[in-house]
Amino acid sequence: MPRVGEIIAGKYRLEKVAGEGGMGVVYAAEHLVLCQRVAVKVLLPSAAISELVVERFALEAQAAARIQSEHVARVMDAGSTSTGAPFLVMEYLEGCDLAELLKVEGPLPLADVADYLLQALEALAHAHAVGLVHRDIKPANLFLACRPDGGNILKMLDFGISKAVRATPAQKALTGHAVLGSPAYMSPEQLRNAKDIDARADIWSIGVVAYELLTGKTPFDGDGVGEIFAAILERDPAPVHTISTHPPRPVRLPPEISTIVATCLKRKPEDRWPDAAALARALKPFGTGAFAPAVERSEQVLSRARMLTAPEIATGSHLLPAAFVAPSERGSRDAVKSKVRSIQGLTVTRWAAAAAAALAVVALVGSVAALRTKEFATSHERVNEPRIPPPPAPRVGLSEAANEISKGVTEDGDRRVSLANDEPDASAVSEPPRFRRNLKAGSPTRPKFLNSRE
C-alpha cells in the first residue's frame, strides 16, 4: 500500500488516511497541478490479487462516471500505482455518513429523514435512468457532506457491486455469480438470484433505510445471516409508527409513513413503488420543503429515459425494465407499442406518398419531353417539306373590283359584308378579297373605308 506523503500517478500527493474498508483504503490527497483536495481510493493488495475484485473496482468507476447527479460522488480519475494497485480519484467530501449520524443521534426526525431520502431517490433516479441498479443501498453509503455555503447535501457512494439492467454476458457473469450486498438491506429477489433484479430492488433497500433511520433498528434482524435471510423471506415487520424509540420520540409518527415504508417492503416487486420518482412524490409532504424540487427532477429524468427507450419497446431490441414504468403505464404497454407502430406505419405511408409523387413528376416531365420532341419533329418536317406556291389570283379590272365592293359582295359572289353595322363577316375576315396590285405604287389598291378603320 502507498504511504502518506507519497505521490502517485505523478500528480496526487497522499496527505492522510481518511477511511478504511474491507476492499481498500481512502486517502485525503492533493492534486499537485490544480491545488485541489481529492479523495484517492486504493484497492488493498489482498483484494487486488482477485481479477473479479479488480473488475468490480473498475465497474465502480465506470458506473459513477455515467451518472450525472450532484447527489452521486463524482469520480475524476482512475489508474494504477507504481506497484500495480488500482486506484480511483473522487471528489473529497467532508461530513459523515448516515450510519455514523444514526449512531450519534439515534432515530432521526421525520422531516430530516424525508429530506435525506428525497436526495437519495434523486440519485437513484439518475442511476436507474442509465440502466444501473445500485444493489447496496444502506446508511453507510449515504454520505451527508458539508457544502461551501454551510449547508448539507447527501451523496450516494460505492457503486462497486452495481448491476446493469441491460448487461452484457460478461457483466452478468461479473455481477451474478455470488450473493452481493449487505444482508439486512437486500431484497428477496436479490437473495434468490442476483442477476435477475431491476430497479425495484433498490426501492426495497430504501425502505429498509427509512425504517432504520426512523426507529433506530432494521426491520429484519437475527443472530446470523441465515436468520436475517429467513426474516426477509418470511416475516413482515411491525409498522413504523407503532415502534417505540429510545429516547422517546416527541411526536408520534403518522400512520401514512408506515404505509409508505410498508409499500417499499412488499415481497413481490410489482407490489412496491414502481420507481424512485413515485416514492419521492409520496415522501414529499413529510419533508421540510427544501428538497421538494428533487421530486420534479426525478420525474423528469425517468420520463426522459422512458421516451428514449420507447422505440426499443416496439422493436424488441431492448425491453424497458418494468421498474421504470408506473403501474398505470404497465397496463398500457400494449397501447404504447401500438402507438409506436402507428407512428412507424404513418412514416411508411408518407414515404410511399412521396415516392408516388416523385414518380408522377418524372412521368409528367417525360410526357412533356416526348411532346416537345414530337413538336420539334413535326416542325422539322414542315420546314423541310417542299413549298407549293398558291395559284395565281385571277386578274380583275379596277372598275370591276370597285363595282363588286360597292355592292357589298365578296369574290365568291354569294356572301355580303355588313358595312352599316361595322361588323365584318367571319368568312370575309378569314378569306380577304384579293386586289390587283397597283403597278405604279407597287402596293395593292385597297378601299378607302378599310384604310380609315386602321
- Polymer length of the chain: 454
Cell of 375: 413538336
Question: For residue 219, what are the contacts with CB-CB under 8 A and spacing of at least 6?
Answer: 207, 208, 211, 212, 237, 265
- The distance from CA 84 to its chain's CA centroid, rounded to whole angstroms, is 39
Q: How far apart are CA 272 and CA 421, in angstroms?
A: 102
Residue with the three cell numbers 411526536: 251
Peptide bond into 247 cis (omega under 30): yes
At 340 the three-state DSSP class reads: helix
- Name the active-site residue from 77, 97, 115, 136: 136
Q: What is the 3-state secondary structure (H, E, C) of 245-301?
A: CCCCCCCCCCHHHHHHHHHHCCCCHHHCCCCHHHHHHHHHHHCCCCCCHHHHHHHHH
136 belongs to the catalytic site: yes
Q: How far apart are CA 47 and CA 63, in angstroms?
A: 20
- The distance from CA 155 to its chain's CA centroid, rounded to whole angstroms, is 25
Residue 1, CB half-sphere, CA atoms under 13 Å: how many? 18
Residue 305 CA: distances (Å) to CA of 166, 308, 331, 344? 14, 5, 19, 20
Question: For residue 340, what are the contacts with CB-CB under 8 A and spacing of at least 6?
Answer: 310, 311, 313, 314
Terminal Cα distance for the chain, rounded: 118
Would you please indicate which residues are annotated as catalytic (active-site) residues?
136
